[in-house]
Amino acid sequence: MGFFNGNSQTEREKLHLAPDTPVIETVDLWRVYRLGDLEIPALRGINLSIGRGAYIALKGRSGSGKTTLLNCLGGLDKPTKGSVRILGEEIGGWNEGRLTKWRRHQVGFIFQSLGLLPALSAYENVELMLRMIGLPGPERHQRTLEVIELVGLTKWMDHRPYELSGGQQQRVAVARALANRPNLILADEPTGELDTKTGREMLMLFQSIVREQNVTMLMATHDSLVDEYVDQVFHLRDGQVVTAEQYEADVDVEPAEAAQP
């Protein structure tokens, strides 16, 4: 198995994926939590198949299983039963060391809490991800500048999180998620703390990244605005996908000019 840690299409091709290989595939996926003798099913037989370059939203009330599903897909939680295949690899039985290496090279995470380190600048928060995967110094510097420019934060890259607006902090988190050139981005409520204008800007940014970088993005959200931008919405209830809606999203790609506070 080849992990992508370079900066060329050739490196991506080391994955040897057939063009029609789903980026995400789950079969009868269950996650059951146990409290003493009590069993609480968070996921109940989820079946998904999502291809490359898809922009997908997961919707549902709190407790519907959205975050649990993201965690299982990202190797942060282990399914109780069923199969999880990401980029053609069955990850359900991997140990933590293998999962950690895989996540660092193949998956970008955008957490609801962002997880930015307050003592580090925007540049340093992004560059740290590349240090963790062992990218050499010159390549690390170049890639950090690239993704910071992509999200429209070049002017603010030396600022620490507390010196940035909420939208700018979210852009740092997006740049960090893109730094390792992931094939898959998983986002948990990425617009939940943003006002409507900034939320739209972020959704447009995600859309442009999916289209231009040909990555797959799956996000859990309550935001009604996402319907205007995503390709498909899966609705979850009680740990099951109850409906799937297809959209012809407007491709309104204007990358990140609007990183203003």
Query: Could you give the CA distance from residue 24 to residue 105 in angstroms, rounded to a whole number?
Result: 16
Query: Could you give the CA distance from residue 91 to residue 149 in angstroms, rounded to a whole number?
Result: 33
Domain count of the fold of the chain? 1
Average pLDDT over residues 195-220: 90
Res 10 pLDDT > 70: no
Encode pLDDT of 61-94 as tens digits: 888 999 999 999 999 999 999 999 988 889 988 8
Domain with residue 221: its CATH number is 3.40.50.300
Q: Which of 81, 89, 74 is nearest to 45 (CA)?
A: 81
User: Does the residue 214 lie in any domain?
Assistant: yes
Angle, in degrees to the nearest 10, between helices 137-150 and 166-178:
140
User: Does the residue 182 lie in any domain?
Assistant: yes
188: helix, strand or coil: strand
Res 261 pLDDT > 70: no
Residue 176: which domain range? 51-76+96-246
Q: What is the pLDDT of residue 7?
A: 38
Which tops the pLDDT comparison, 247 or 99? 99
Q: What is the pLDDT of residue 247?
A: 64
Res 253 pLDDT > 70: no
Average pLDDT over residues 96-103: 90
Question: Letter for the amino acid at 185?
Answer: I
User: Does the residue 60 lie in any domain?
Assistant: yes
* Residues 238 and 188 sit within 8 Å (Cβ to Cβ): no
User: Does the residue 209 lie in any domain?
Assistant: yes
Strands annotated E in 190-251: 216-220, 232-237, 240-246
Residues written for the chain: 261
User: Does the residue 2 lie in any domain?
Assistant: no
User: Does the residue 68 lie in any domain?
Assistant: yes
User: Does the residue 84 lie in any domain?
Assistant: no
Encode pLDDT of 113-154 as tens digits: 778 899 999 999 999 989 988 888 899 999 999 999 988 899
User: Does the residue 175 lie in any domain?
Assistant: yes
Q: Which of 75, 68, 80, 105 is nearest to 90 (CA)?
A: 75
